Structure 1
Amino acid sequence: MERPLRTVDVARATGYSVQQVRDLERLGVLPPADREPNGYRAYGARHVRAARAYRGLAAAVGPVVARRAMIEVRGATLVDAAAAVGELHAQLATERARTLQALDALATIRAEPADPSSGAVLTITELADALGVRTSALRHWEAEHLLTPERVGSLGARVYDAAAVATARVVAALRSAGYGIPALRAVVGALDGLDGTVDAEAALRERLERIAGRSVALLRAGADLAAVVVEQPSPGDAGRDR
């Protein structure tokens, strides 16, 4: 039989603190530890593997999703566990695909001729149709200070000049990649007509790098996750984890 591990042993093996190991057990990320006659926790290799699997998952999909996945995987069959992990990979693949689509959109925008002196302006309906979004989305972007249309006529109708249209296209491209409002503000703040797409492209390529790093973290967690599933105690052993 393997030598029981103390809480400090698990902490040293996984890079967590002693308190973090206890917290992970309390949250259900780690299987319940056995108890020695003196009341001290007694861990094993499966606890170390579960902690390492969680660390990899947390780096890939965030701590909240990682906790939920660990609890789900620990109580699942091999088929269901594999499906759950496959879904996490699929989510990252979707993020990557959307980011690549946004990069393609930016490339198209940059290739278009920009001539602010042409005097071409679009109404809010025309711009919404051109971007494939609702007019309410344009109003929301305006409220968030991402767009600044001109107001014309006695009713103050919104119109968008060439520079505003270019900015709207960048915002739409980044939104399609899943960027939130704070990140959009940072990009739009650096925009200067179509030249601002350079900043948007840099942000998207940085996002691709992060997605790649998260994908690698998820791959590395795979071996530990597989071990967690395979070594789950059978129903007859359930009474031992008290």
Structure 2
Amino acid sequence: MRSEPQSGHRLRPIDLARRHGLSTQAVRNYEEAGILPAAARTPSGHRVYTPLHAAALRAFVALVPGHGHATATAIMRAVDQGAVDDALRLVDESHVLLRDDRRTLEAVERALRGLERQGGPEADTGSGPAGRFIGRLAAELGVRPATLRAWERAGVVRPARDARTGYRVYDEADARDARLAHQLRRGGYLLEQIAPLIARVREAGGTEPLAAALLDWRTRVSARARAMLSGSAELEAYLRARG
């Protein structure tokens, strides 16, 4: 239960600050940034806040975890300027970004499951310790050699070169990256989206250590989604308070 003064009651900067563990200077900074409505002043020049300012601060603090400080600031400024549609558009755009992040996560998870169905990312292909040349790997994946060269230019695969012939040589890690990229491409992802994900697999040392990273990623996506729900509830409360 909130124990805030009723409408029309005056609040000091310290009253707002204490509720959120902020400094009074932070509250003043938020007002100057347009996050809070402009406060009235006493004859002596002291700021006078009201429950409306408290509602604005609650909305902003609730929006930050889901939308980030910059977007939350832009949302509150738009509301303060009477541009509610612009504020709602910013909320919508954050939801789109979160949706895309979730879809990317799910695509990586599906791609990893696809590798497992193929016998695992380190499955024996009979290519020997020296690896395979581009034609062999292209045939395994059902793509053209030109496709693998395009993936290399995008940083998706990084084959070594045979010292004698100069031909590309793909070891098992390269083949794993290529299989994962192939799964993601089939899911409609662009090379510029795939390359950073493949880099994470390389940094993790393979797909197995990536499982923990994917779990953390999913946890963060879910936490952000719930934070957006909380932020939307407080924003709606603030919009109602403004009338």
TM bucket, shorter chain: 0.7 to 0.9
* Pairing 1:70–2:76 present: yes
**Alignment partner of 2:134 out of 109, 123, 127:** 123
Query: Which ranges in structure 1 are unaligned for 5 or more consecutive residues?
Result: 234-242
Task: Evaluate the alpha carbon distance shift between residue 78 and residue 180 of structure 1 in structure 2; reply closer, same or farther with a 3 A threshold.
Answer: same
Structure 1 Cα separation of the partners of residues 142 and 78 of structure 2: 42
Instruction: Percent identity, please.
Output: 31
**Alignment partner of 1:217 out of 227, 231, 236:** 227
Aligned pairs for 1:53-202 within 5 A: 53-76=59-82, 81-113=87-119, 114-115=123-124, 117-119=126-128, 121-123=132-134, 126=138, 129=143, 135=149, 137-141=151-155, 148-152=158-162, 156-170=166-180, 181=196, 185=199, 187-191=201-205, 196-202=206-212
Alignment-mate amino acid for residue 163 of structure 1: A
Give per-residue Cα distances to partners, 1:123-171, cap 9 Å, x unaligned. Answer: 39947958x97845533537xxxx5412137773433233312034447
Larger relative contact order (Cα-Cα within 8 Å, sequence gap ≥ 6): 1
- TM superposition shift of 1:217: 1.0
Q: How many residues align?
A: 223
Task: Evaluate the alpha carbon distance shift between residue 84 and residue 165 of structure 1 in structure 2; reply closer, same or farther with a 3 A threshold.
Answer: same
Q: Which moved more, 1:26-35 or 1:117-126?
A: 117-126
* Pairing 1:230–2:236 present: no
SS of alignment partner, residue 31 of structure 1: coil
* Pairing 1:12–2:22 present: no
Task: Evaluate the alpha carbon distance shift between residue 115 and residue 67 of structure 1 in structure 2; reply closer, same or farther with a 3 A threshold.
Answer: same
Is the contact between residue 128 and residue 135 of structure 1 (CA under 8 Å) also seen in structure 2?
no
Is the contact between residue 69 and residue 84 of structure 1 (CA under 8 Å) also seen in structure 2?
yes
Alignment-mate amino acid for residue 188 of structure 1: R
- TM superposition shift of 1:12: 0.9
- TM superposition shift of 1:230: 2.9
Alignment-mate amino acid for residue 118 of structure 1: S
Query: Which ranges in structure 2 are unaligned for 5 or more consecutive residues?
Result: 1-6
Task: Evaluate the alpha carbon distance shift between residue 165 and residue 207 of structure 1 in structure 2; reply closer, same or farther with a 3 A threshold.
Answer: same
Structure 1 Cα separation of the partners of residues 8 and 48 of structure 2: 11
- TM superposition shift of 1:231: 3.2
Is the contact between residue 116 and residue 163 of structure 1 (CA under 8 Å) also seen in structure 2?
no
Q: Which moved more, 1:13-22 or 1:210-219?
A: 13-22
* TM-score normalised according to structure 2 size: 0.74
SS of alignment partner, residue 168 of structure 2: strand
Is the contact between residue 77 and residue 229 of structure 1 (CA under 8 Å) also seen in structure 2?
no
Q: Which moved more, 1:49-58 or 1:160-169?
A: 160-169
Structure 2 Cα separation of the partners of residues 188 and 170 of structure 1: 12
Q: Which moved more, 1:89-98 or 1:39-48?
A: 89-98
Structure 1 Cα separation of the partners of residues 242 and 147 of structure 2: 49
Task: Evaluate the alpha carbon distance shift between residue 3 and residue 128 of structure 1 in structure 2; reply closer, same or farther with a 3 A threshold.
Answer: farther
Q: Which moved more, 1:29-38 or 1:108-117?
A: 108-117
- TM superposition shift of 1:15: 2.5
